[in-house]
Amino acid sequence: MTSIVYCARPVYDCSSPCIGEINDIKKQYIFNIESGETSTFLLPEDTKYKIFFARKYTQVNLMMKESKSVEYKNFSDVESEISSMYQILKYNVLSGETTRNTSISITANESVSWQVEIGERTQFTAYQLFFIPLDMMFLHGYYWSKLFYDWIFFVVTFSMTVLTNSLETKNNTTFFHSLLLYSCAGFLASAGSKLYHTIAASLDSRSFDENVLFTISVVCFLIEFFPIFVAMLFSYFVRKKPYISIFSTLFISICILFLGAGYFIGPCFLLLSCIFKYIHVSLCE
């Protein structure tokens, strides 16, 4: 069953032969090789591993060399899983545990994205969580699904926001409310892109299980729409209780930076609105 929470930051472009770290913390190594190239990964002994492909490739040879060499060519019947954290589809072509040092080699006659996951224990660090949006951009783009259409959601959403803000400016909309408006636009655009990638992965895998429901309800909607609700409350209560509203929203916006919400854009505009309002309130006293 797919693990719902996973946040160890992937390692990209590890030079071949890539050597896996010897510990029990989950780690992802992601490779993108072109036709005719060979990529090699060295697994330490007594290490649990999973090998994932981005698609069901037909022209790929996978060679494992432990006590003897074993070659795999048929990957037509493999299990797929959707990463809730990154909204990508992965095909688990091979998994197991090594008894001694093992090398894994991939040779392809087509462009191949593949991943080795080693370790069992999930580790959370601020560094890993902060860079979730950046890893999502990499994985939706060159390094995995090659379906980076997030820019469409941001262009459309922010174009509508600029138009709305320009019209509202005639009604004396303040700079503070403009910052909140752009913050909400960032979260809405991010929610749209996450929902798109989740539905696309679900359709490709032909599955709609509890993991997909969790991704849509929590990752796509709760994490992205909660900051919008906070921005609305901030706009309403800032006149009545300015300092409480400012510092509580400031704290929440910093926390949101570590949830992968808004692709940095939403949280940064929310932070700017807090800073601007604090300066404005302090000068007006």
Handedness of CA 278, 281, 284, 285 (dihedral sign): negative
285 band by pLDDT with thresholds 50, 70 and 90: low
Task: Tell me the whole-structure pTM to 2 decimals.
Answer: 0.85
What are the residue boundaries of the structural domains of the chain, listed by start? Answer: 11-125, 150-284
For the segment 7-39, what is each residue's pLDDT rounded down to a tens digit? 468 888 888 788 887 777 888 899 988 888 888
For the segment 34-83, what is each residue's pLDDT rounded down to a tens digit? 888 888 888 888 888 889 988 888 778 788 787 667 777 767 678 888 88
**Fold assignment, 11-125:** Jelly Rolls (2.60.120)
